[in-house]
Amino acid sequence: MDFQTFGTVLLQVLVGGLSLGVLYAIIALGYTMVYGVLQLINFAHSEVFIAGGIVGFLVFDAVKASSMNGYLKLLLACIAAMAVSGLLNVIIERLAYRPLRGAQRLVPLITAIGVSLILQDLLRFLVGLRGQFDLSVPLPQGFGNPISSLFGLDISLLNLQVKDLILIVVAVVMLIGLNLLVNRTQLGRAIRAVAHDRQTSGLMGIDANRIISLTFLIGGALGGLGGVMFAMKYQALNAYSGTLPGIKAFTAAVLGGIGSIPGAVLGGLVLGWLETLLGVISLFSSVPGLHWLGAIKAEYKDLGAFLALILILFLKPAGLLGRSAAEKV
């Protein structure tokens, strides 16, 4: 492998890992926000996320023959998915988690797994009403086109498509907005107060139940947005498609330091870059002394990412931005 090829592969890993990492970060924020206020791992979030993807598919499918601008179609899909996933998350909290507050921590954890399984089959049933199992997402025209130049620079070697750039831009805008919401608004201060001490926040006039419901609403909406981005990126999904990305996003949240918004973002990016690098690392087997890399096939990228997680947590058990350094939501 010559130097130019090495540089091209490295750039492709950076860009590909970025688009994958921000997707994990969007999903991971749903886990970390709920954990921040309730110390609950909401395993049903992967189904809330893929429910948003299915809603996004339905919107794309309904307007595919329309002459409407593609970005407007995407906006409609995002709004619908965020509304449905946010509401679904609120309903889950109200019916399944709230009655269990005060119970041993294992009880809501098992409940979350049960809710996840119920939602999987419910989504499969609803999708099955269309006579389909696997859904092929019709992208708006032009979203799959390659980008050959950006700001006057030739980036054709990066294999970047319009949908990848949209994903990155949407993620950055969403992360900035969430940061402003949590740190600069009254609602954000109330969320942080409940996360810090629920009983004391109640004495200060904060309705903890309302704040927790709003936190679930925001977390679910982020999951729905992530679902649309997932559907747009991979163009194929079914009722069970949320499981693996959900596990990876949860892994990203843990890797970054669960309960921390910056940690979820950092964890998502690290996981995205690791996974992308491991997917192409066999290309470096032609480098003298690195022939053994040829045995690491792309199929091992998931395993390698989790092994890296174990290693990092072994060295830093609280995650990259551990509890002592993290700002809880």
Q: What does the pLDDT look like over 258-300, one tens digit per residue?
A: 878 888 889 999 898 888 888 887 777 777 777 777 777 777 7
pLDDT tens for residues 71-110? 999 999 999 999 999 999 999 999 999 998 888 888 988 9
C-alpha dihedral (55, 58, 64, 68), degrees to nearest 10: -50
pLDDT of residue 327: 47
Long-range CB pairs of 76-82, under 8 A, 24+ apart, other chains included: 77/228, 78/170, 78/224, 78/225, 78/228, 80/55, 80/56, 81/51, 81/52, 81/53, 81/55, 81/56, 81/224, 81/225, 81/227, 81/228, 82/52, 82/220, 82/221, 82/222, 82/224, 82/225
pLDDT of residue 44: 92
With a pLDDT cut of 70, the percent of the chain lying above it is 95
Confidence of residue 322 (pLDDT cuts 50, 70, 90): low
Is the model more confident about 158 or about 216? 216
pLDDT tens for residues 43-79? 999 999 999 999 999 999 999 888 888 899 999 999 9
With a pLDDT cut of 90, the percent of the chain lying above it is 35
Considering the domain 3-315, what is its CATH architecture?
Orthogonal Bundle (1.10)
pLDDT of residue 262: 86
pLDDT of residue 325: 46
Pick from 161, 220, 214, 156: which is nearest to 188 by CA?
214
pLDDT of residue 279: 83
Which neighbouring-strand residues pair with 154?
Answer: 149
The label of the residue with tokens 């947005």 reads: 225
Look up the pTM and report it.
0.87
pLDDT of residue 281: 79
Task: Read off the pLDDT of each residue in 9-38 and give the average, rounded to a whole number.
Answer: 87
pLDDT tens for residues 227-245? 999 999 998 899 999 888 8
pLDDT of residue 64: 87
pLDDT tens for residues 20-33? 999 999 899 888 88
For residue 196, the surrounding DSSP H or E stretch is helix 186-196
- Using CA atoms, how far apart are residues 26 and 226, in angstroms rounded to an integer? 6
12-16, 51-55, 119-123: the lowest-pLDDT one: 12-16
Long-range CB pairs of 89-92, under 8 A, 24+ apart, other chains included: 89/30, 89/42, 89/45, 89/48, 89/216, 89/217, 89/219, 89/220, 89/221, 89/223, 90/213, 90/216, 90/217, 90/220, 92/42, 92/44, 92/48, 92/216
Compute the mean pLDDT over every residue in the chain, rounded to the nearest whole number: 86
38-47, 139-148, 277-286, 296-305: the lowest-pLDDT one: 296-305
Task: Read off the pLDDT of each residue in 6-13 and give the average, rounded to a whole number.
Answer: 80
Task: Read off the pLDDT of each residue in 178-188 and give the average, rounded to a whole number.
Answer: 90
Task: Read off the pLDDT of each residue in 170-197 and give the average, rounded to a whole number.
Answer: 89
